[in-house]
């Protein structure tokens, strides 16, 4: 079998604007278990949106955009429902930017023969498929962008902004988080930027230009994000998954204190995760635990133990149809730098 035999049914991104489920989430508040937790999280998110002085930080970990959640984040940016994004590289580069240059993810299933997929040059993300040769084109696009920049040290935010600008010059591009954020001045940070197609493209770039090249400085990322926290003071976290993006965002409180700047703990915090806290790992650590580190205020926090493709559309849908975002102004935090 060749690759086309597997790729008949592309992933479609869910559009929260076309379905009003706010009343369903309200009804879930009268239930138990994760239904009530999700409804409480939706209430906290709406409090963030109604609090005009609150800067909303969205963290993204896990394979989210390949699974159909890209449009949710695009809508959040367009309707001023998020002010800064901290993500894994896979979501931003291998999935969002990848689709922005014209490629797709496809429906598969977890029981396909992986040896056959390897022979057909298809990569599997649980029940989703992606073409390896198209990923290589994505890698090359990253190298092309790096080659176009002056040599020096960049934050991932700066490089992702360059990706957004590059996309605006392409006539055949598809709507994306990267370009939408660039146009709306919503900064995107990827603390482990090389852990994705960006890494492959930058390795090729630095190999070709060993003495004059672009380098990504994660400490510069941390400094810039900490500066956002200091300037905004009041912040809310909406964390999808865990990992480095979660810790990166939470740690800005501690970093601010270490450099002698006064700021408060993140006032609001939500985490949607399926990770377990019992192994002590970060992704499953609770927000109450984060309070012991002085990172989040425990007065307005909610853990939701649910898979992101279920919980995130419901939570954002409820906020969108509540219209609590309509008076909220864009903070345009990318202009800070």
Which of 99-103, 184-188, 276-280, 315-319 shows the lowest mean pLDDT across its residues?
276-280
214's CB contacts (< 8 A; 6+ apart) are 146, 149, 151, 152, 154, 159, 202, 205, 206
Determine the pLDDT at residue 282. 81
Rounded Cα distance between 69 and 63, Å, is 9
Nearest to 159 by CA among 135, 183, 136, 182: 182
Digit-coded pLDDT (tens) for 13-29:
999 999 999 999 999 99
Determine the pLDDT at residue 5. 82
Determine the pLDDT at residue 121. 96
**Could you confirm whether 295 is annotated as catalytic?**
yes
119's CB contacts (< 8 A; 6+ apart) are none
User: Is-above-0.75 flag for pTM?
Assistant: yes
Give the C-alpha distances (Å, rounded to integers) separating 264 from 15, 212, 228, 234, 256. 35, 41, 13, 7, 9
Cα radius of gyration (the chain): 20
pLDDT band at 4 (very low <50, low <70, confident <90, very high): confident
DSSP 57-87: EEEE-SS-TTTT-HHHHHHHHHTT--SEEEE
Digit-coded pLDDT (tens) for 282-311:
889 999 899 999 999 989 999 999 999 999
Mean pLDDT computed over 248-275? 96
Is pLDDT at 2 greater than 80 in this prediction?
no
Q: Which residue among 183, 295, 298, 331 is the active-site one?
A: 295
Is pLDDT at 3 greater than 90 in this prediction?
no
Determine the pLDDT at residue 281. 86
Domain 3-12+32-336, classified CATH 3.40.50.970, yes or no: no
């Amino acid at each position: 079998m060749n690759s086309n035999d597997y790729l008949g049914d592309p992933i479609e991104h869910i559009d929260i604007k076309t379905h009003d489920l706010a009343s369903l989430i309200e009804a879930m508040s009268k239930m138990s278990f994760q239904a009530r937790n999700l409804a409480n999280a939706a209430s906290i998110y709406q409090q963030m949106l109604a609090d005009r002085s609150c800067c909303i930080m969205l963290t993204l970990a896990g394979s989210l955009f390949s699974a159909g959640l890209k449009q949710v984040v695009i809508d959040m940016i367009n309707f001023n429902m998020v002010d800064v994004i901290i993500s894994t590289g896979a979501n931003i580069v291998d999935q969002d930017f990848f689709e922005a240059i014209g490629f797709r993810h496809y429906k598969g299933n977890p029981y396909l023969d992986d040896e056959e997929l390897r022979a057909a040059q298809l990569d599997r993300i649980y029940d989703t498929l992606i073409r390896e040769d198209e990923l290589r084109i994505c890698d090359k696009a990253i190298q092309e962008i790096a080659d176009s920049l002056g040599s020096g040290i960049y934050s991932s935010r700066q490089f992702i902004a360059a990706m957004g600008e590059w996309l605006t010059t392409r006539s055949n591009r598809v709507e994306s988080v990267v370009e939408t954020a660039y146009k709306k001045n919503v900064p995107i940070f990827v603390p482990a930027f090389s852990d994705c197609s960006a890494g492959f493209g930058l390795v090729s770039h630095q190999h070709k230009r060993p003495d004059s090249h672009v380098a990504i400085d994660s400490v510069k990322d941390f400094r810039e994000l900490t500066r956002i926290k200091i300037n905004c003071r009041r912040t809310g976290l909406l964390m999808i998954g865990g990992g480095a993006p979660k810790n990166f965002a939470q740690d800005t409180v501690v970093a601010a204190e270490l450099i002698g700047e006064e700021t408060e703990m993140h006032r609001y915090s939500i985490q949607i995760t399926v990770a377990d806290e019992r192994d002590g790992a970060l992704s499953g650590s609770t927000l109450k635990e984060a309070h012991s580190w002085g990172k989040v205020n425990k007065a307005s926090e909610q853990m939701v133990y649910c898979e992101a493709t279920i919980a995130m559309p419901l939570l954002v849908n409820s906020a969108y149809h509540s219209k609590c975002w309509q008076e909220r102004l864009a903070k345009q935090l990318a202009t800070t730098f």
